[in-house]
Structure 1
Amino acid sequence: MTLTEEVLLERIRSGKLIEGPEYATERYLEGLKRTLIVSADTELISAPAYFRAAQDAPNINAYISATGIIQDELGHAHIAYRLLRDLGVDTDALVFERDPKDFKHPYAFDVPLETWTELVVANAFYDRAGFVLLGDVYRHTSYAPWKRALVKVDREENFHLRHGERWMEILAQDPDKKSELQRAVDWMFVLTLEWFGLPDSLKRHTDQIAYGLKGLTNDQLRQEWMKTAVPLCERLGLRVPAHYEPDLGQYVIDVPFPAEFDAERKQWLFEKGPITWDQVLARWKARGPANEELVKAIQRGYEQIRKSLEA
C-alpha cells in the first residue's frame, strides 16, 4: 500500500518514529534533507572557522582543547552527511563540488574569527545555538536514525559551550581582555540571534513542525538561546542588547532587529534603524568575507587529488 501524507502524519502525531526512507513520503524526505543539509554544513564549516582562530590560543593546552572541539565538529558533520547519503544524496558532490555561496550554514560563520577571544565567544554563543537547535531535534525529531545519532552530538555540543563559558569567565577577570571580550560580544550576540532564521510570521517552510523534524519554532528557539546566553553575559558584567521582560514572560531585543551589518568592520549599524528580512536574506545569499576561504579549505585536498588523477 502506498503511504499517504495523511497516514504518515497520523503516525507522527501518535508518537511513532520513522525508521527509514521507505516509511516516509517524498515530501517528508525533502524536508528532512533540507534540515540535514543545514545541520551538516554548519558543523562542517565550523571546523576551518575555529581552526583559523585557534592559532591565537594562549597556550598549548588551550590549543589542544580547541582542536578537540574541531574534531568533534567534523564528527558531527559526518553523522549528518552519512544520514543524507543513506537518503540517496551524493554527499561527495555536496561537500566538495558545491560553490561556496551555495552552502547552507549560518551567515555568522562567514564573518572570520581571528582571535582566541572571538573563538571562545563563538563556543559560548554559536555552539549554544547548535545545542539549542540540535537539542530540540534530539527531543522531538520523528526520524529515528537522526534521533539515535544525536545522543553523542548533544553531549559534545554541551561541552563546547561550557568551554566557551569557562574561557569567557577567565578573560572577564582581566580588564584589557574584558574590553576585547565586550567587542566580540557586541557583534556576535546579534549575529547569533539571526542564526535561528526568519521570525515565525515569515517562516517559509512549516513542514519541520508538521512532520516532527523539530519541536519549537524559530522564535521559540531564539528565546531558548537567550534564556542562558543573556544571564551568562550579565553575570560576567558584559553588556548585551536584550533583557528579560517579566510582564511578557520572555526576552526582548533592545536594538533594531534585524539591522544592517558591516561584516568587514564587524559592526552593527543600529543607528540606521531596522531593515527588512528580505534585506537580511540578500546578505545571507551574498555570503560574508570568509565564506570562500573556509569552504575552499575543505575542498582543496579533493581538488588537488582530482587534478592529479586527470594529469
Structure 2
Amino acid sequence: MVTQTPALQSEEALQQRLRKQQLVESLEHMSPVYLEGIKRILTVSADTELISSPAYYHAAVHAPSLNAFGSAISIIQDELGHAHIAYRLLRDLGVDTEQLIFEREPAKFKYPYAFDVPLESWVELVVANAFYDRAGFVLLSDVFQSTTFGPWKRALLKVDKEETFHLRHGEQWMRRLNKDAEGHALLQQAVDWMFLLTVEWFGLPDDLKKHTEQLNYGFKGHSNDELRQIWMSTAVPLCNELQLQIPAHYDEEQGKYVLECPFPAYFNAEKKRWEESCSWDDVMKRWKARGPKNEEFVGMIQRGKKEMLRLLEQK
C-alpha cells in the first residue's frame, strides 16, 4: 500500500489560518515555505540537543563524586529525550531521520559552535549548564510561548521544565565551587572563554539575519539580538553575584546589556582564548568549518549503527 503525502496549503490559506490565531497542526496546514522553515529550525534544535550529550559526557567523567556523576548523566538523558522529540516531529514532516542522524557528514550538523570545543573538567561542565543550558532555555521558552506549530508547542512543556533543572544545576555548582579561592579561579578560567561563546550562540545580529520566516511565521517571538539580551539579563547578574569578571555590563542610558570587548572576535579553540576582532563573515567561516570535536562527537552518535551494519555484513 502506497501512502500519499498530504497536499500542502497555499500561502494565502496558511496566512488566513495564522490571522485567526489557529495553530498549525500538520502538513495539511502548511505552505511549502512554512514547511521548509519549520524543518530548518527543528533540525537546529534536534542537532543541538543530540550533540550536547557526547559534549557533556566528555566532562562528566571528571565528576567529583558518584552523585555528581549521576546528576550529569540525568541531564544527558534529558538532552537525548529532547533530541528525540524534535527528530520525531521532523519525521512526521516527511524527513528521513535515519539518514539525518546516522548518515550525515559531521560538518553538516547544525548546532552551536560552542559544543565543538571540548569541556575538559567538572568546572567547565557546570559552567556549560549555567551558560549553554540557559541559552537553550531562553530559546525554547521563546518558542514555547510563541510558536504557531502546535505539536512542538505541546512537546516543549516538558522540555522547558527540564532545561530549567539543567541551568539551576549549573548555578548551584558554580556557587558551591566559588566558596574558596581555588574554585573561584577555576570558574574564572572557564567563564573567560565560555561567556562570549554563549553570547554568539544566538546567531547573526538582526541586521544580518538571512532567514526571516522564523519571526514572520511565529516559529519564535523574539529576534536574535533580543534573545541575546534576555540571556544576558540573567547570566550577567549571576557572574556579578559570584564576582566573576565578564566583558559585559548593563548600560542605563541605552537600556540594555553591552559588551566591553571586541565582538565578534577570532576564537582560538586549541588555547580556548579570544583574540582580536573580526567580521561576522569570519565567524560564519569558523562555524561552517566546525570545531575540534565535531567529528569525534558525531562519531560517538553514529558509531552504534555503523558497528551494527558491519556485523550484519559479516553474517
CA distance in structure 2 between the aligned counterparts of 1:37 and 1:2, rounded to whole angstroms: 20
What amino acid sits opposite 2:311 in the alignment? S
In structure 2, distance between residues paired with 1:185 and 1:268: 12
Q: Which of these residues, 156, 161, 167, is aligned with residue 161 of structure 1? A: 167
Gaps of 5+ in 1: none
**Does residue 54 of structure 1 match 2:60?**
yes
CA distance in 2, matches of 1:196, 1:12: 26
Say whether 1:264 aligns with 2:273: no
The answer to whether residue 49 in structure 2 is matched with residue 43 in structure 1 is yes
| Separation of aligned partners in 2, 1:211 and 1:176 | 49
Q: Does 1:105 align with 2:111?
A: yes
Which residue in the other structure is 2:247 paired with? 241
User: What residue number does 2:280 align with?
Assistant: 277
In structure 2, which of residues 52, 76, 84 is the aligned counterpart of residue 78 of structure 1?
84
Counterpart CA distance in 2 for 1:262 and 1:306 is 38
1:267-293 CA deviation, whole Å, 9 max, x = no partner? 001xx2x21111000000111011111
**Larger deviation, residues 101-110 vs 15-24:** 15-24
In the alignment, structure 2 segments of 5+ residues that lack a partner are 1-6
Q: Who is 2:3 aligned against?
A: none
Work out the CA distance in 2 between the residues paired with 1:108 and 1:293: 14
Letter in structure 2 aligned against 1:277: W
Alignment partner, residue 310 of structure 1? 313
CA contact 2:142–2:221 (8 Å) conserved in 1: yes
What percentage of aligned pairs have identical amino acids? 63
Alpha-carbon distance between aligned partners in 2 of 1:235 and 1:259, rounded to the nearest angstrom: 26
Instruction: Give the aligned partner of residue 34 of structure 2.
Output: 28
CA distance in 1, matches of 2:180, 2:124: 16
Once the 2 structures are TM-superposed, how far is the Cα of residue 307 of structure 1 from its aligned partner?
1.3
2:210 is the alignment partner of 1:207 = no
The equivalent of 2:257 in structure 1 is 251
Cα distance, 1:306 vs. partner? 1.0
CA distance in 2, matches of 1:55, 1:43: 19
Q: CA deviation at 1:196?
A: 0.2
| Number of the residue aligned with 1:301 | 304
- Separation in 2 of the partners of 1:244 and 1:145? 37
**Partner residue of 2:130 out of 97, 119, 124:** 124
Partners of 1:2 and 1:64 lie apart in 2 by 46
Structure 1 runs (4+) greater than 3 angstroms displaced: none
- 1:177: Cα distance to partner? 1.3
Determine the structure 1 residue equivalent to 2:147.
Answer: 141
RMSD of the TM alignment (CA)? 1.0
Structure 2 residue identity aligned to 1:75: G
**Separation (CA, whole Å) in 1 of partners of 2:179 and 2:15:** 53
SS at match of 1:260: strand
Q: Match of 2:118, SS? A: coil
In structure 2, what residue type is equivalent to 1:297?
A: M
Tell me the SS of whatever aligns to 2:261.
coil
TM-score (norm 1): 0.97
Distance in 2, Cα, partners of 1:26 & 1:131: 29
Q: Does 1:87 align with 2:93?
A: yes
Amino acid at match of 2:215: I
Q: Which of 59, 70, 93 is matched with 1:64 structurally?
A: 70
CA-to-aligned-CA distance 1:85-126 (integer Å, 9 cap, x gap): 000101011111111111001000000001000000000000
Query: Which of the residues 187, 195, 211 maps onto 1:181?
Result: 187
**Contact 2:178/2:242 (CA < 8 Å) preserved in 1?**
yes
1:251 is paired with a residue whose SS is strand
In the alignment, residue 112 of structure 1 is paired with which amino acid?
A: P
Letter of the 1:115 partner, please give it: S
TM-score between both structures, scaled by the size of structure 2:
0.96
1:290 corresponds to which residue? 293
